[in-house]
Amino acid sequence: MLVERGLQAMNVELVSDAYAIAANYLRRSGAIADTLATNERLLEIIVKLLQHGEFNKIRLANKAIVRFEVQAEARAVA
């Protein structure tokens, strides 16, 4: 299914799958809370990666995990 977000259409199923993979990993590693609430930061990272041309759900999830962890480390240091 395609949904309009701003001026760009995105595949909701792709974003959902990538988010589920990344969130599951980050929950198990303790990086995010084990809740049903959507982590907006993680979702934003995935959407930006998609907007920059990444359409493989596994690569989307893996890149999002790395960026999320890097941002978390940067916030912990600051």
CA 47 – CA 10 distance, rounded (Å):
8
Cα–Cα distance measured from residue 15 to residue 46, given in angstroms and rounded to the nearest whole number: 7
Domain around 61: 2-77
Per-residue pLDDT at 76:
86
| pLDDT tens-digit series, residues 32-76 | 999 889 999 999 999 999 999 999 999 999 999 999 999 999 988
**Measured between alpha carbons, how far is 47 from 27 in angstroms, rounded to an integer?**
19
Q: How confident is the model at residue 7 (pLDDT cuts 50, 70, 90)?
A: very low
Q: Are 5 and 31 in contact (CB under 8 A)?
A: no
How many structural domains are present in the chain?
1
Token code pair at residue 66: 């790395």
pTM recorded for the entire structure: 0.84
Tell me the C-alpha distance between 39 and 77, whole Å.
Answer: 21
